[in-house]
Structure 1
Amino acid sequence: MNVTFESLISKLSEPSNIQSLNGITRGIERECLRVNEAGDLSQNDHPAAFGSALSHQHITTDYSESLLEFITPVSDSAATAQQQLSDIHRHVVKNLDGELFWPSSMPCQVNDVDAIPLAKYGTSNTGKMKHTYRIGLKHRYGSSMQIISGLHYNVSLPVPFWQTLYDLKGETGELQDFISHSYMGLIRNFYRFGWLVPYLFGASPALNRSFLPVEKQTPFSSLGEDTLYMPYATSLRMSDLGYTNNAQDELVICHNTLDNYTDSLQKAIKTKAPEFANIGIKVDGEYRQLNDNVLQIENELYAPIRPKRVAKLNEKPSEALAARGIEYIEIRSLDINPFTATGITTAQMSVLDSLIVWMALQPSAPMTADEMAVCRDNSTKVVMKGRKPGLTLELKGKQQVLTDIASDVLAQVQQVAQLLDGAQLATDTAASNFADAVSEQQALICDPQALLSGQVLTIMKEQGLEHNDFILNLANKYKAELLATDYGHWDDVYFAQMQQQSVAQQQQIEAADTLDFDAFLNAYFSEAKK
């Protein structure tokens, strides 16, 4: 049954349905570099105080030994998620000996790209595979791109909501099939309208000059000696910035059904890429990459949003999805918010939750390759020049002014936000701020200088600060703030336990290996070929 957004909003507002909107869960993965007190990339190993990067529940590393990643548990409260994230930061700051965490998506000054230390995960086959995968990324794309930091927002809409939607639409069949189908529709709508995320929350319009080779600096304006920027950019992190991967550029991942998605992803990890074959796989006894396929593993796929399902031991992400359907989505297009220690505010979470529910309630026709190309062009325009007055995007075959589209979308998202507030009030939960958070963003649509990206440039220009100095000042500020405040959710005892457990778990993983690394990889990828 085809039902309209308006009719769904009306039905969901009824007392018998509104509480189904309670229970949205989210988990946060925040990346940030470790730097020394001068703002240079740390060359030190991952601190022992944080335990094992391979198996710690909350503190690990991403591409580099110097690129921290903080992970919160799944929570049905944005306030709790924020508290947990803040506690992880607090614990890290207390144990960073003479170092700081870098509160920006764009890296600090890096004078020697070859000096960026790759993350290490111990002697187990799993740990070696993670390290070798990063060697492959270095050979394929270079290390500079890999130390850009982002924030991944993992969100799951509650099963009662999906059940209510299932009933309102008169659906038949398995509920999980409907949920997966609906999440895929949401993902297509994210490609259509997800440019709103970098428009509203992009915070990387500038970068340190050392990030780009001289020949790629031409399109940029200069601020001081060491800073490059684009006057209307919102999120240079989400642009290509010289990032070239012809193999992925030509990759067609279909989002029309879950089967389409997993099939096309499986194809990508089995398809040879001539440009990567030139690198070699194992040369002079040393691995240069895991394989010479378009994707070494599924995680290499560059995408602003992904369908996800918690995988079982030794289960690949696409296998988990194919076996049990979509459990949550991962939004990957968020910049680090430099104006808050944790990189994201609870108000941002409220806006994201409201936007995601709006996308779930909107019709979502199958997407052609041509429409996907238009969506990507729209996204590129927004991240490179989103604050340019009068900027137009293509929507439904017509050029429309970005701010007009954004105003129309957020007016509908506001209706969702009011529902979410009402759902919490209906269960006597403390009043939330979904509607207030969306209203705040509505007010900024036509005031681009007040957006995060506009604020970054305004402050640097007014204070005469280079990008490195601006972010280093914030790094010192957040260190002082976190050290001056107490834990809100956990404590030192908890983190000591996590440290010890993670080390013990790594030792168990290493002791359990029965194959040499070559045989382990052969078995892993033989399974992938089935």
Structure 2
Amino acid sequence: MTCTQLQQRLSALSAPSELAAIVGIQRGIEREALRTNKQGGLSTRPHPVAIGCALTNSMITTDFSEALLEFITPVSDDPKETLAQLRDLQKFTLEELDGELLWPVSMPCYIQSQEEIPLAQFGSSNIGRMKTLYREGLKNRYGSMMQAIAGVHFNISFPQSLWRSLQSQSGDSGDLQAFISDGYLGLIRNFKRELWLISYLFGASPALCSSFLEGRKTDLPFKSLGKGSLYLEHGTALRLGDLGYTNSAQSSLKVMYNSLEEYVDGLKKAISLPSNLYQNLADYHAAVPQQLNKNILQIENEFYSPIRPKRNARSGEKPTEALLRGGIEYIEIRALDVNPFADTGIDLQQIYFLDVFLTYCLLKASPQMSWEEQTQTQENLDQVVNQGRNPELMLVRNAQEVSLTQWAGDIFAELALVADYMDMAHGVSHYSETVNELATWVDAPEKTTSGRYMAKLLAANTDNGVFALELAKEYLEQHQKWQYHSFDKAYLQQQAEQSVVAQKEIEAADTLSFEAFLDDYFKG
């Protein structure tokens, strides 16, 4: 039997001189959560000034809506520290919300109409107004309901020591950053090929409030539950399906991942090509604009992808400009539902699994991906989103039909090798323990996050929203008992106050009109 690239790399990395190369993985988490009132309805209050300005507070901000909070942890190499930071940020926020709650699931609470969802406000500066107008465009293009869905973004970068070791193993004597960028793109291609497994294991949005559909028809075989909930019998992550963060207008975009230039070129075309769908919406030149511009994407962030290559941008720099300047610095995983069974929306077991899974995606061979194959990866994901817990489900691997259980079993066999290596390198056992435990979920769909979630709803014949509201109240109590760990309250108050000053400085520094500012931005 020939040795695979994964086995060869693991063998080389397991040498005593190389073993520590993997140590020092850097992570950060962005957790979104809707603010709701005590009855579980969407908050109509503005973003509380006591937690700072959304434009300038680097740790507590908003996403699409004024009611959709986003908590952002600093970068850390300790996942327990990261979760403690997240808990601190949520505790501080809850203390300033005057009885409001953080919605603990991805799909929104009961919302009668999308007009109830207030757009996030970022002040009177040009950049602040641009952010709000971008959201106005999202509302007019896709509807606000889709934008009220919450998720968890997991950011990860591997240590330079690992990249140097891999470059040496491969006999590559070129530029290290170019090697790193190519390596991350290989990881992305493999992640897309097997993303369906993340949805199977951790998908947590198999049910939704019927108000979410706003009377729209759907071909999905929904069943009814409680007073107004809908669910898919074998569903895992409606957030990632046709009802969630998908955009049919983007389905024709050929953004591909075989080289950094190819990826950037695909995105640049999308932000410069006019779309027939949006020509009737007024752009920023109008007195009452309804979007930034009439292109397929208003800006690069509008591109919906479950994984993105990233580099920290300089002031005024677009994401693709940062990538071309310095190469890929880290990866952003955007495919995670909010975990309803974790007060932070993600737990330690998930982080350990993602460490192993993403290392596996990096180390194994990653052939170039054709557009046809990339389309097939999306079809596999759609199948798992809608019926992942069906034991008979078949997927397509290398143009051949294969059962989900067989393919998942094959992946877990290789993940076990990666976990053993990572345990050995870190002097721990939790990586193998995590992989061994999650491997048992393959033949027991009731153990998956969506399986456990639906079991709770069905056992009590209770609505999605009722269950979520109970959890939100339970997590409020937990946060009240939590002792600040990484930050103290005074520090977080200081950050909030400084963000207010920083926003005023940005507003005072503007010299251009809003239209001239955007002329300049889109010309660049």
The alignment's TM-score, normalised by the length of structure 1, stands at 0.96
CA distance in 2, matches of 1:191, 1:249: 15
Give the deviation of 1:228 after TM superposition: 0.3
For 2:163, the equivalent position in structure 1 comes to: 162
- Per-residue CA distance 1:319-346 (angstroms, 9 max, x = gap): 0001110000000000000001000011
SS state of the match for residue 241, structure 1? coil
In the alignment, does 2:448 pair up with 1:451? yes
For 1:210, the equivalent position in structure 2 comes to: 211
CA distance in 2, matches of 1:217, 1:248: 20
Residue type at the aligned position of 2:156: V
For 1:415, the equivalent position in structure 2 comes to: 417
CA distance in 2, matches of 1:502, 1:382: 42
CA distance in 2, matches of 1:246, 1:204: 21
In the alignment, does 2:56 pair up with 1:55? yes
CA distance in 2, matches of 1:217, 1:254: 30
For 1:257, the equivalent position in structure 2 comes to: 259
CA distance in 2, matches of 1:341, 1:24: 24
Q: Call closer, same or farther: CA 1:160–1:244 in 2, change over 3 Å.
A: closer
In the alignment, does 2:438 pair up with 1:434? no
CA distance in 2, matches of 1:239, 1:292: 25
For 1:428, the equivalent position in structure 2 comes to: none
Residue type at the aligned position of 2:293: N
In the alignment, does 2:504 pair up with 1:507? yes
CA contact (8 A) 1:233 1:453 kept: yes
Give 5+ residue unaligned stretches, structure 1: 426-430
CA distance in 1, matches of 2:27, 2:369: 27
CA contact (8 A) 2:247 2:304 kept: no
For 1:117, the equivalent position in structure 2 comes to: 118
Residue type at the aligned position of 1:207: L
Identity %: 46
Residue type at the aligned position of 2:19: I
SS state of the match for residue 495, structure 1? helix
For 2:314, the equivalent position in structure 1 comes to: 312
For 1:240, the equivalent position in structure 2 comes to: 242
Q: Call closer, same or farther: CA 1:432–1:82 in 2, change over 3 Å.
A: farther
Give the deviation of 1:280 after TM superposition: 2.2
How does 1:1-80 map onto structure 2 within 5 Å?
A: 4-80=5-81
CA distance in 1, matches of 2:95, 2:199: 32
For 1:337, the equivalent position in structure 2 comes to: 339
CA distance in 1, matches of 2:125, 2:245: 32
- Per-residue CA distance 1:386-407 (angstroms, 9 max, x = gap): 0111211100110001111111
SS state of the match for residue 17, structure 2? helix
Q: Call closer, same or farther: CA 1:184–1:169 in 2, change over 3 Å.
A: same
Give the deviation of 1:3 after TM superposition: 6.6
Give the deviation of 1:421 after TM superposition: 1.5
SS state of the match for residue 328, structure 2? coil
Residue type at the aligned position of 2:173: T
CA distance in 2, matches of 1:413, 1:21: 15
Residue type at the aligned position of 1:452: T
For 2:190, the equivalent position in structure 1 comes to: 189
How does 1:175-186 map onto structure 2 within 5 Å?
A: 175-186=176-187
CA distance in 2, matches of 1:284, 1:326: 37
Give the deviation of 1:281 after TM superposition: 1.4
- Per-residue CA distance 1:34-87 (angstroms, 9 max, x = gap): 000000000000011111000101100000000000000000111111110111
SS state of the match for residue 27, structure 1? strand
CA contact (8 A) 2:283 2:289 kept: yes
Match 1:465 to one of 448, 462, 465: 462
- Per-residue CA distance 1:213-262 (angstroms, 9 max, x = gap): 33425531101221000000010000011777443111110211001001
For 1:479, the equivalent position in structure 2 comes to: 476
CA distance in 2, matches of 1:330, 1:479: 28
CA distance in 1, matches of 2:103, 2:396: 36
CA contact (8 A) 2:106 2:239 kept: yes
SS state of the match for residue 498, structure 2? helix
Moved over 4 A (4+): none
CA distance in 1, matches of 2:375, 2:272: 24
Residue type at the aligned position of 1:50: I
Residue type at the aligned position of 1:47: P
SS state of the match for residue 32, structure 1? strand
SS state of the match for residue 153, structure 2? strand
CA contact (8 A) 2:22 2:162 kept: yes
SS state of the match for residue 30, structure 2? strand
Give the deviation of 1:153 after TM superposition: 0.3
Residue type at the aligned position of 1:134: R
CA distance in 1, matches of 2:107, 2:248: 23
CA distance in 2, matches of 1:280, 1:484: 50
Which has the larger displacement, 470-479 or 243-252?
243-252
Give 5+ residue unaligned stretches, structure 2: none
CA contact (8 A) 2:32 2:152 kept: yes
Which has the larger displacement, 237-246 or 250-259?
237-246
CA contact (8 A) 1:141 1:244 kept: no
CA distance in 1, matches of 2:59, 2:284: 33
CA contact (8 A) 2:104 2:468 kept: yes
CA distance in 2, matches of 1:93, 1:180: 40
Give the deviation of 1:374 after TM superposition: 0.7
For 1:222, the equivalent position in structure 2 comes to: 224
SS state of the match for residue 333, structure 1? strand
CA contact (8 A) 1:216 1:242 kept: no
CA contact (8 A) 1:103 1:336 kept: yes
Give the deviation of 1:306 after TM superposition: 0.3
SS state of the match for residue 394, structure 1? strand
Q: Call closer, same or farther: CA 1:275–1:509 in 2, change over 3 Å.
A: same
For 2:390, the equivalent position in structure 1 comes to: 388
CA contact (8 A) 1:141 1:243 kept: no
For 1:300, the equivalent position in structure 2 comes to: 302
